[in-house]
Amino acid sequence: MDKGPHLIKKIPDMMNIVKVHKQNQIIGFVPTMGFLHKGHISLIQSARKDNDIVVVSIFVNPKQFAPNEDIDRYPRNIKRDIEICREQGVDYIFYPCAEEMYPNGFQTSVSLSELTKGLCGKSRPTHFSGVTTVLTKLFNIIQPDNVYFGQKDAQQAVIVKQMIKDLNYPITMHILPIIREDNGIAMSSRNKYLSAGQMKNAEVLNKSLKLAETLIKQGERNCNRLKKIIYHKIENENRNSNANIKIDYIEIVNFDNLQPIENVRTNTLIAIAVFIGQTRLIDNIVIK
C-alpha cells in the first residue's frame, strides 16, 4: 500500500476497503468536520497508537446545523487537513459530499430523548440528532473498533457513549482531554471566526472555569454560588472590555447523566457556552 492518507469520497469504496481490513485488523476512527487543529491531532495520535488502521472522516454535516447557524461560513481547508493527516500517519480520510451521505429520499434519524435536553441542546434543539444520525451512518460504514472524541464537546461525548451502549455497537469510546492554546482558550475550528480583540475576550471562558476550580479546591461545593461567580467573571469581562459577550448557559451537572446537581462531587462537569459577538464558544472542566 502507498503511504497514506488515501482520500475516499464514496461510501461503497470506503465499505469495500473496511471489509478487507476488518478480517484481521483493528480500526480506529476519528470523526471530524475538518479544519483540523491540535485537538483533532491529539485524537489522531491516540488512534494511531491503539489501532492497525486509522480512519479520519471530514464531513461538515448539514444535519447538525440549524438553518440560522454557520454551516456556510464554517471554516474548511481540505489541503491542509490532508497534510496534517499525512504527518500523523492516517491511513484513510473519508471525505464524502452531502449528497453522498443524504441522497434524495433520505429520512432516517437517530435521536436520544434525555441527554439532549439540557446544556447545548436547549439552544440547539436539532443539533444532537444530527450528530447521532451521521455517527450511526459513519459507524456502519467504517465499522471501527475504537472511536475518539474530545472532552471539549462534553455533552456530545456523553450522548455518543449512551448511543453506542443503547444501540449495541461493538465500539470502544475514548474521550480525550481538551487541548488549549497558550492563552488557555480551548482549541476549536470556530476560533477562526474571532478577531484579535475577541480572542482576548474569549480567554474569560477558561479563566472563569479555572476560578471555579480553584474555589472548589479551597472547599467550595455549592453549585449556585459557583455559577454566580462564573457569571460575574464573564459579565465583568463584558463590561470592562466593552465587548459583545452574551452568556448562553453556565451549568454544573453530573458528567455521567448530565443532570444538574446542587453540590460538587466526583465526576462533576462545569460547562459554559458564551457568544463572543456572533461566535458561540463552549468550554468545560471536569472535577474528578
Binding site for its own copies (CB under 8 A): 11, 15, 19, 23, 105-115, 132, 136-137, 140-141, 162-163, 166-170, 257
Nearer to its own copies, 39 or 96 (CB): 96
Nearer to its own copies, 169 or 193 (CB): 169
**Which of the following is catalytic: 6, 21, 37, 40?**
40
Residue 60: count of CB within 10 angstroms of its CB? 17
Helix axes 196-217, 223-241, angle to 10 degrees: 150
Q: Are the C-beta atoms of residues 1 and 52 closer than 8 Å to each other?
A: no
Q: Are the C-beta atoms of residues 98 and 109 closer than 8 Å to each other?
A: no
We find the least distance from the C-beta atom of residue 223 to its own copies, in angstroms, to be: 23
Nearer to its own copies, 98 or 195 (CB): 98
Nearer to its own copies, 163 or 253 (CB): 163
We find the least distance from the C-beta atom of residue 22 to its own copies, in angstroms, to be: 8
* Half-sphere exposure of residue 55: CA atoms within 13 angstroms, side-chain side: 27
Nearer to its own copies, 116 or 284 (CB): 116
- Where does residue 84 rank: exposed (0-12), middle (13-18), buried (19+ CB within 10 A)? buried
- Where does residue 165 rank: exposed (0-12), middle (13-18), buried (19+ CB within 10 A)? exposed
We find the least distance from the C-beta atom of residue 28 to its own copies, in angstroms, to be: 18
Q: Is 37 a catalytic residue?
A: no
User: Closest by alpha carbon to 21, among 85, 101, 94?
Assistant: 94
Q: How many angstroms separate the CA atoms of 156 and 86, rounded? A: 27
We find the least distance from the C-beta atom of residue 121 to its own copies, in angstroms, to be: 13
We find the least distance from the C-beta atom of residue 154 to its own copies, in angstroms, to be: 18
* Nearby residues of 105 by Cβ (< 8 Å), 6 or more positions away: none
Distances (CA, A) of 210 to 91, 98, 152, 229, 270: 38, 39, 15, 11, 10
Catalytic machinery residues? 40
